[in-house]
Each structure stands twice: as C-alpha cells, then as structure tokens.
Amino acid sequence: MKNETNNFWETKQLNELSHDEWEALCDGCGLCCLHRLQDEEDENAPILTTRVVCHCYDLEAGQCSDYANRAKKVEGCTKLTVERAAEFDWLPESCAYRLRHHNLPLPAWHPLISGSKESAKHYGVFAVNPVLETEEIDLEDYIL
C-alpha cells in the first residue's frame, strides 16, 4: 500500500524541503539547460527556447556533466532556489519546481511517482532533438 506520509512533494511546500528532497524533486528533464533568446532591448519580449543545449550537458548520460560545479563553470547557469522557482517564468511548464510553486501535482511520469528516471526522458530535452552548443552555432537557427 502506498505510504502517503512519504510523498513529501505533495505534502510540503518548496521552502520546507530538505536538501535531498529538493534535489529529488528535479525530474532531470534538462529543459532548463536549453539556450533561450530574448530581445535585449525589450524586457517584455517573449523568451524563445532553442534546441541548443548547454555545452556542459552530457547528451549520452542525459544530465549535466559537472552538476556540482555548474554555476561556477558555466556563466549564466543559475542554481534554482525557492525564490527563483517563483521568478523564472521561462522554466518549462512541466518543471517540478514550477508546478509545486503553483501547488500543482507532479505528472505521472515524474521519477518520484514512476520510480524510474527513464520515464522523464520522453518529456525532456531528448524530445526536442537537441544540438550541443558549439562556438559556431547561431542560436537563432534553432529556435523551437
């Protein structure tokens, strides 16, 4: 029988999660590692998502290649916090932090519910036919 008391992602607010619970909440989709574009002169311009993934992303492993040092290693990679989960409206709608910030349930494919990290793959970065960032790539050619 399912033990409801263990479903911390349903019973706790983001600011109540332990470090391990916070990390487990990430579904590993990698969609936040895709480059995004916005008109620099218009802060109200829409944020466009490209299918170019950060050069630090390991496409074979399906995860950041240096997660522990990500913020130091890659300019612009920002650690997600409770406050940022509220502020970052460019996060994908499926992002678990965004969903829980809005008190919405996690989808059935979330690893915490399905029990498998594989289940998130169809909904993440691999679903957009990702291209690894290189110096030659022009992001505007890869807008989704």
- Residue 8's SS3 state is helix
Residue 1 vs 117, nearer CB to ligand SF4: 117
Binding residues among 103-132 for ligand SF4 as defined by CB under 6 A = none
Residue 20 vs 41, nearer CB to ligand SF4: 20
Q: Which two tokens stand for residue 99?
A: 């969903």
Binding mask 36-55 for ligand SF4 (x = CB under 6 A): ------------------x-
By CB under 6 A, residue 99 contacts ligand SF4: no
- Least distance (Å) from ligand SF4 to the CB of residue 1? 28
Among 14, 52, 96, 106, binds ligand SF4 (CB under 6 A): 96
Residue 1 vs 115, nearer CB to ligand SF4: 115
**Chain residues in the site for ligand SF4 (CB under 6 A):** 26-33, 54, 56-57, 64, 70, 73-74, 77, 80, 91-92, 95-97
